[in-house]
Structure formats: C-alpha cells, structure tokens
Amino acid sequence: MRSHFAHTFALTVATKHLALAIQVMAPRTKVEKRWAEGGEKYTKDEFIEYYGQKKGQKKWDAAGEAAAPAKKAYGGKKAEKETKAEPKAKAKAKAKAKAKAKESGPRKTFKVCVCGGAGGIGQPLSLLMAQDPNVGELCVFDLNIAAVPPAGVAADLSHIEKKAAVKGYVIDVNDKAIDKLEECLTGCNLVLVPAGLPRKPGQTRDDLFKVNAGIAKGIVDACAKFCPEAILGLIVNPVNSIVPAMAELYKKKGLNPANIVGVTTLDCVRANKFVGEVTGKNPNFIRVPCIGGHAGVTILPLFSQDKAGASIDAEKIPDLDKKVQDAGTVVVEAKGGKGSATLSMAYAGARLGSSVLAGLAGRRRVECAYVASDITDLPYFTSKVVFGEKGVTKVLPLGDLSEHESKRLEEVKEQLKGEIETGLAYAKENDLS
C-alpha cells in the first residue's frame, strides 16, 4: 500500500515537472498592434522584417514585456507586503490615468473638404476620409455639372457608422469659388483637391496646364481667404507645374507656400506593391520612397532605401523603375480610355490626408510629397516630408542613392526643371484676390 502511494506521488510530481517543462519550452507568440496598419497584429518575423533585425528585436521585446502578466510574489512577509501594496498601486495608477484623460479631454478632430468630391477620385476619397478617426466634419464640394450632385454623395456618406458629419456643397460652373464657399471652407484644416480635367489624346502638358491651372487657382484663391492656415493637398495634373504655380501665388499673398502640397503618394504605393510582387513580401511592410516629381521620367523610386527593394537583383531595377513610371498609362489602357487611376489615387490621397491629420493631432508622420524644397538645386521637389502640428515641419534629405538612382536623378532634374518653370511663369503673371 505504502509502495503504491509512493509510486503514485512520484508519478504526480513527475507529471507536474513535465508539464512545467513543456510550458517553458513552448514558443510564445507575442504580438503588437500597429495603429498605422489598421490595428492588425504581426508576428516576430514580420516585426524584424519591417523594422530591421536590431530595432525589430528591441520593439518585439518591449512589446512582450508590456504584454506579460505581473508575476506573483512568494516568500514570507515581504511577499505579503507586496501583495497588500499591489491594490493600492493599481488604484493610484487608475486615478492618475483618469486625471490625465480629464486634462486631455476628448480627442481633437478636424474639418476636411474634398473639392471635386463627386468625381471619380473624389467619391472614394470622400468615403475613405469619412472613416478617418481624426475627421469630425467632412465637406464634399463639386460643380453643378458633376455626374452626381455633391449633396447626394454627402447624404450617402452620412449613413455610414462613423462620427464625421458630412455636408455637400455645389456651385454653378460659372460661379467663383471665392464668392460661394465661405461656409464650406471656413475652419478647414485640410483641403484635398482631386479636381481638373484629364489629359486628352494629342493634348500637350502645356495645354492641360492652362486649363487646370485656372481651376486650381479658383479653389486656392478661396482657401487663401477662408482657411489660409489649412494644408492643401493638390491632385491636379500636371502636378509638377500646378504645385509651383499655386505655392508661388500663396507666397505673393504673404501666406505659407509650404501649405501647398502635391500628392505624389500613389507613386510610393505602386512601388511598394510591385516590390512585394517581385520579392513575395507583404507590401504593408515595404516603404519605397519616390522622389523627383509626379509624371513619367520625373518619378524616381529609391528601391535601395527599402530592405525588400534592396534585395532585388540590380539588373531588374531599371525595368521595375520604368514600371512605376508607366503605371498610370497601364490603368488608362486597361480601362479602354474610359477612365484613369481613380480608386488607387483615392487610396493614396487618403493615406496622405490621414498622415497630415495625424501630424496636426501631434503624432508625427513621414510621407513623400511634392513641396517647396531646398534639398536640391530645384525650388520644388518630391522627397520625404515630416508632417507635424504645423503641417510640413521638415523636408528630409534624399539619403544615399545607388548608382542607378544617381544617374536617374540627373534625368529627373533636367525634365522637372522645365515643368517647374512653367508654373513659376504662371505665378508671375497672375495674383490671388
């Protein structure tokens, strides 16, 4: 009997030790939420792939420590004291957190306007911005010749389960925005402008510029009067000439030209996607900067500055570079000439818009954008830009370039110079109200 009991006791102890050993040996899956990626969870390998070995491991370890449950204390009076002190510490921390929350108050939200909000880019862009947690008020503006009345777009968007209040505004095609959009634009923090006409077959960039510069000027003129501190994200072709023209007009008016931002994010989005397809990596973790301008040869993806991009064979880079440059034409051809890149452009515009708003809210963001710049010998250039509480807070240097990228940079600058001069000439001959 005693022998049987001893055998059973020994077996029980051994089983517990085995279970403990298995628990210790079993791999633990640690995850961390990344707000910028929509709150999804990622594995340790994905952390390291995104941040790099050293930084990724450090962030992973920090996340693991934060998520680990507090250890129970054992061992006499000391443990008893720690156990008693724990509820007091928790209560103190809770009170501190409540006080901090009370001081900070409700989350600050911003007013956003989408000019051209009833168009092919404008509608999906409005939808995406209405879902941004930083947007408290969304204005959808368009002309009375739009295929869909902006009031209809606003009514549609007002039914989605997000907090943003949405309102539509319309003016006659012959009216001036500055005479009609006081209510719409007053108090705006961000104005996104997917406006203007698309380039027609046989039409030169100069011809397109003459038409769209007038459209852009009308909106910029109204913004200068009703929301002069707002960031203006221009999606008006040709961006390489329109942005310098509008920024110089702002400067002549005594306003901040850095508030005029050319939305070139789609080039980065495409480069990330294409690198992902070549390498088999998740595009969410790929960040290829695109510098220069926003058309044809002026688009220069810096594949060497992304870990996945840098892993691609050097002989494949020129073709991949060209693929990014020609991506817009591919979409136009795929749509049979009945449209251009509207959905992907809306996605890219919303990404930039969200970064601007996050910056205004005090959460620094970095995106590539076409802005007034002194990092090259050209007055306007696309590069990484820091968005903060005042909008554009810093234009970052280009960084190290590969041999291919250094050669292409000269080609970019040569082409871009002439397109910038077109915009500067327009600004010399015109003024805002």
Mark which of 212, 247, 263 sits at the end of a domain: 263
**Does any domain span residue 367?**
yes
The pLDDT of residue 18 is 42
Residue 280: helix, strand or coil by DSSP? Answer: coil
- Known active-site residue 17: no
Same domain for 285 and 298?
A: yes
Residue 356 belongs to domain spanning = 265-418
Same domain for 378 and 339?
A: yes
Please list the rounded mean pLDDT of every run of 10 residues in the chain (433 residues). 47 47 43 44 67 74 61 49 57 59 67 98 98 98 97 98 97 97 98 90 82 97 98 97 98 98 98 98 97 97 98 98 96 91 98 98 97 98 98 98 98 98 98 96
The pLDDT of residue 44 is 73
Same domain for 215 and 255?
A: yes
Same domain for 118 and 259?
A: yes
Which listed residue (4, 7, 17, 294) is catalytic? 294
Same domain for 235 and 295?
A: no
pTM of the predicted protein model: 0.79
What is the number of structural domains in the chain?
2
**Does any domain span residue 85?**
no
Q: Report which residue type is found at 61.
A: D
DSSP states of 158-193:
TTSSSS-EEEEEEE-TTS-HHHH-HHHHTT-SEEEE
**CA-closest candidate to residue 281, choices 269, 289, 273:** 273
For residues 279 and 382, give the distance between their C-alpha atoms in angstroms, rounded to a whole number: 26
CATH number at residue 371: 3.90.110.10
**Does any domain span residue 208?**
yes
**Does any domain span residue 141?**
yes
Same domain for 388 and 349?
A: yes
Same domain for 256 and 273?
A: no
Mark which of 232, 263, 294 sits at the end of a domain: 263
Joined tokens for residue 150: 């902006």
Same domain for 253 and 275?
A: no
3-state secondary structure 8-67: HHHHHHHHHHHHHHHHHHCCCCCCCECHHHCCCECCHHHHHHHHCHHHHHHHHHHHHHHH
CATH number at residue 143: 3.40.50.720
The pLDDT of residue 62 is 74
The pLDDT of residue 23 is 45
Contacts of 59 (CB under 8 A, 6+ apart): 32, 47, 51
Mark which of 209, 235, 263 sits at the end of a domain: 263
**Does any domain span residue 75?**
no
Same domain for 281 and 226?
A: no
For residues 6 and 11, give the distance between their C-alpha atoms in angstroms, rounded to a whole number: 9
The pLDDT of residue 204 is 79
**Does any domain span residue 285?**
yes
Same domain for 278 and 388?
A: yes
**Bridge partners for 369 per DSSP:** 383
**Does any domain span residue 12?**
no
**Chain centroid to CA 386:** 11
Same domain for 119 and 206?
A: yes
**Bridge partners for 232 per DSSP:** 191, 260
82-97: b (≥16 Cβ within 10 Å) or e:
eeeeeeeeeeeeeeee
Q: Helix 150-157 and helix 122-130: axis angle, to 10°?
A: 30
Same domain for 375 and 244?
A: no
**Does any domain span residue 147?**
yes
The pLDDT of residue 225 is 98
